[in-house]
Chains A and B, each alone.
Chain A
Amino acid sequence: MSPNLDVIDQLSQYGNRVGDGVKPVRAADVLRTATTSASRNELHPVTTQPADIEEHEAYVTPLPARRPPAPWLGIAAGVLVVALVGGAITVARGGDGGLGTGSDDSVVSTLATSVVDDPPTLGDCPGCEWYGLPTDDAIAKAEAEGREWRIAHEDGEDFTLALDLRDRRVDFWITNGIVTFVHIESLSAAYDPDYLPEGVQNLDDTGYLGLTLNDAMYQSGQDGLTTCEVTQPNGQTPAIHCEPPAGDDELHLYVDEAGLVIAIARR
């Protein structure tokens, strides 16, 4: 290593210089591309020309010409339709002949099934209860439930929204004064790196934050602590083996989607 430079200084020097070797992206190019074309591909023009289809003509086998239908085919089809209609009429009258070989019960049950089928209903979609409400009613409902709310879109106009997630906040899409779409925000470790489950006191003094679960469990064992429970971002607490076997001072670790410890509770 160079005698006078620590790794940090070397990284800083290298980082300051290395970007110079990359062609810059000018804002004007981005604006021009977005203004003149919907495709961002103009920022990366294709250098290879598309293949000429005539080059591949020799490899294409033409489809055989379609023959006109034979005259007898139309006659046979007509006979078949007449037979089917006649059979159906016979069955409906309860007769024993024709195509109806089943009993009367089978006919009734078939008809009954088609009538009894439940009509389609709205499913339990998230936020279903908001759809179709007038704007003022939706806002009143949100406020009555103690929710924050925002209007994200109204009659073709998008509003600028901060990307800060708030638990239970409702974002409305409004068309002609009616809620046509909602998004209900919910916090979790997967979305907010600073999120902590309610009631959890972060014990940063352990030094386990940011470690993988396995490393944290191993380290807690080295420190004479016990880790018996883990909570994942979805709230599930999978069973794990205590490390080491249960003692007096147990830790409850909370991990994010990457499996890294984001919060620690002492039980």
Chain B
Amino acid sequence: MRTRTRPVEATTSEAAFTTFADVVEPRLRRAYVGWCGVDAAHDATAEALAWAWQHWDRVSAMKNPLGYLYRVGQTQTRARKQGRMPAPAELGLPQVEPELIPALRALPDQQRAAVWLVHACAFTYAECGEAMGISASAVGTHVRRGLDALRARLGGTTPDASTTDPPRRPKTGDRTDTGGTS
């Protein structure tokens, strides 16, 4: 059967986008700090959200818009990688090891991104995989290796695997479609 999706009304779109942005914006902003530092994170977030509004029809239909927009902001922003990240003391976090940030920045790119997005920004593996353009299983490997390297450098112990993994969303078989099948 041939079906088509009607375009969303403008006012409805604006309201939906505002709700969406309220939820996604803080997470994107935080995620970009790990990529380009605090000085460029605002620009990257603004680029990503501007793109999201310009392509709202597409974004609103995405299963995983957060990870996708993270990549959009990266490509739309000519940011300097590894921008400034404040020391934990600057943020009033005395319990956080001062060496954590230098150790994080010393990780290989993929491991650093995976560890940052999953454990500092609470991305799911699926969101992180979309953001990095890799599979969820690859994210798990990078996270595991990155955490191992951080603990080796900072002298921590390795907890159970169950505590290192974030909650993973169950796979669903439903696929919304606007077209027909044979």
Contacts and interface: CB of A to CB of B under 8 A. Distances in A.
Interface of A: 1-2, 4-8, 10-31, 33-34, 40, 43-44, 139, 142-144, 146-151, 157-164, 169, 193-194, 204, 209-211, 256, 258, 260, 262
Given A8-B119, A43-B50, A143-B182, A163 B156 contact: no
B30 interface: yes
Contacts of A10: 88, 95-97, 100
Contacts of B163: 8
Contact of B53 (A30, A162, A164, A262): A30
Contacts of B7: 157-160
B58 A11 contact: no
B137 interface: yes
Interface of B: 2, 4-5, 7-8, 14, 17-18, 20-22, 25-26, 29-30, 32-34, 38, 41-43, 45-47, 49-50, 52-54, 57-58, 60-63, 68, 85-86, 88, 91-93, 95-97, 100-101, 104, 115-116, 119-122, 129-130, 133-142, 147, 150-151, 154-157, 159, 163-164, 175-182
B138 A210 contact: yes
Contacts of B164: 8
A234 to B, nearest CB: 16
Contact of B179 (A5, A11, A33, A149): A149
B156 A6 contact: yes
B135 A262 contact: yes
B95 A2 contact: yes
Contacts of B68: 163
Contact of A260 (B2, B29, B134): B134
A6 B156 CA distance: 7
Nearest to A151: B4
B154 A159 contact: no
Nearest to A193: B135
B154 A1 contact: yes
B120 A139 contact: no
Given A1-B154, A6-B156, A159-B7, A19 B180 contact: no
